[in-house]
Amino acid sequence: MNEDGPVQADPGASRQPPLLQAEHVQLYFPIKYGVLVNRTVGAVHAVDDVSLSLTEGQTLGIVGESGCGKSTLARCMVRLLEPTGGTLRFRGRDITHLRRRPLQPFRREVQLVFQDPSSSLNPRKRVGQIVAAPMRLQGVERDAARARVRELLDRVGLNPEHVNRFPHEFSGGQRQRIGVARALAVNPRLIVLDEPVSALDVSVQAQVINLLDDLQDDLGLSYVFIAHDLSVVRHVSDQIAVMYLGKVMELSPAAELYRKPIHPYTGALLSAIPIPDPKENRGREQRVIGGEPPNPVSPPPGCRFHTRCPWATKVCAEVEPPLAEYPGGHLAACHHPRNVSSAEISGATRSPLSPLSAGQLMPGGQQAPASGAEKARESQVTARTGDAPDAPAGEGSSSWHLEVVDGCE
């Protein structure tokens, strides 16, 4: 589907390469069918052309509903899965297709914490063995590892005397601390946390979030924090990516995202979360979006959210919106952006992080000032894109118009 095209460097990251960078990463799971001959009859578009980057010492939150591809993306990032397209860079080095051995140094720097602490800890091993395992694999001596395990247990707030206990002797929150201790064992720089607190009670959630906060401050760690809960993500993230059906819908600094969600999907997610304050809850207008996410085997054309979006017009079903960059480094892939002024809309630029299949069509305000080259083409109105069908001229809502902007090719 998408070939790897030339990717422009992220303008903000020119000084130092970001710690982890995903460029148009794509992961399709083939659907096989047949008895003797395994024919591939289709593919689950789990992650479809996602570009993200993570600066050292920061936290990137990834949110979305189940099935949006956030966990698959996390597994790509730690290279548990090999992407079927795009490039993954760690400190500028391409790690997309590295084999096991060349990956080993990378494995030391990147660790993963799973959602369910009881199924990610071997029930037959003692805590000491579990936490020491990554160190032993990296060739640390038994005695040195033992001493370090006690240090680590203390660090995550567990009693070092409990090294000889089994996972079942701990509560859910304590087990998640064991998972964190194991991840810390090899002094990683990046920890990918896949729903680390979703299975925990609120009071314990707060403890684990505080622990992760402390560790980041003390050790200068970087996190990729996956969650389906926008309120938890708000607490931990510097940057947040909102995913839907394998694509990034919105990518923004955390505070900015909550102050003014631009993509209608983000707005819907935020509005769906009940606020723990009865009066405010009664007072606010809650927009419940109907329906469910479509099947990722055959995602809808154009904007993937258009089948559930209250603002969708004809253009949304036809042209995939590129990620438009608004002031404050706020990126959103939507033809009908919310919470932005028409000046901001006309000032928006096409982000190089946009999917390759996205159209050239930018959301435009009434008085969109266009630069010379764009003005010349503005009369054409139709979007010149590689694979997207022609955009309808003058169709859709009247409050905004279509605009052609220079692409990155």
Partner 1 sequence: MAEPLLDVQDLEVSFATEDGLVRAVDGVSFTLDRGEVVAIVGESGSGKSVTVMTLMGLTRSPNARFAGSARLHGGDLVTASEEELERVRGREIAMIFQDPISSLSPVQRIGNQIAEQIRAHEKISKAAALDRAADLMERVGIPHARDRVRAYPHEFSGGMRQRVMIAMALSLSPGVLIADEPTTALDVTIQAQILKEIRQLSRESDSGVIFVTHDLGVVADIADRVLVMYAGRLVEQGTVDEIFYDPQHPYTWGLMGSVTRVDRDPPKRLPAIPGQPPSLLRVPEGCHFRPRCPHAFDPCRQVPPLESRLPGSPDHLDRCWLTPADKRVKREVGGRIGLAEGKVIG
Chain centroid to CA 150: how far? 34
Give the three-class secondary structure for 30.
strand
Residue closer to partner 1, measured from CB, 295 or 367: 295
Binding of partner 1 by 298 (CB under 8 A): no
Residue closer to partner 1, measured from CB, 79 or 177: 177
Provide the strand spans (E) within 219-366. 222-227, 239-244, 247-253, 324-326, 330-332, 349-350, 361-364
Which candidate, 293, 342, 343, 300, places its Cα nearest to that of 320?
A: 300
> CB of 73: closest distance to partner 1 in angstroms?
17
Phi, psi of 204, deg, nearest 5: -75, -35
Binding of partner 1 by 273 (CB under 8 A): yes
Binding of partner 1 by 288 (CB under 8 A): yes
Among 174, 176, 346, 357, binds partner 1 (CB under 8 A): 174
Please, which residues have CB within 8 angstroms of residue 272's CB and are 6 or more apart in sequence?
A: 286, 288, 289
Binding of partner 1 by 98 (CB under 8 A): no
Q: How far apart are CA 85 and CA 355, in angstroms?
A: 12
Query: According to CB under 8 A, which residues from 208 to 237 bind partner 1?
Result: 209-210, 213, 228-232, 234-235
Binding of partner 1 by 172 (CB under 8 A): yes
Phi, psi of 239, deg, nearest 5: -120, 145
Please, which residues have CB within 8 angstroms of residue 173's CB and are 6 or more apart in sequence?
A: 200, 201, 204, 207, 208
State the residue for tokens 């993937």.
304
Binding of partner 1 by 207 (CB under 8 A): yes
Binding of partner 1 by 116 (CB under 8 A): no
Annotate 260-291 with three-state secondary structure. Answer: CCCCHHHHHHHHHCCCCCHHHHHHCCCCCCCC
Binding of partner 1 by 66 (CB under 8 A): yes
Binding of partner 1 by 312 (CB under 8 A): no
Binding of partner 1 by 266 (CB under 8 A): no
> CB of 218: closest distance to partner 1 in angstroms?
14
Residue closer to partner 1, measured from CB, 164 or 231: 231
Among 283, 290, 372, 394, binds partner 1 (CB under 8 A): 290
Task: Give contact residues for partner 1 (rule: CB under 8 A).
Answer: 65-66, 171-174, 201-207, 209-210, 213, 228-232, 234-235, 255, 258, 268-281, 286, 288-290, 292
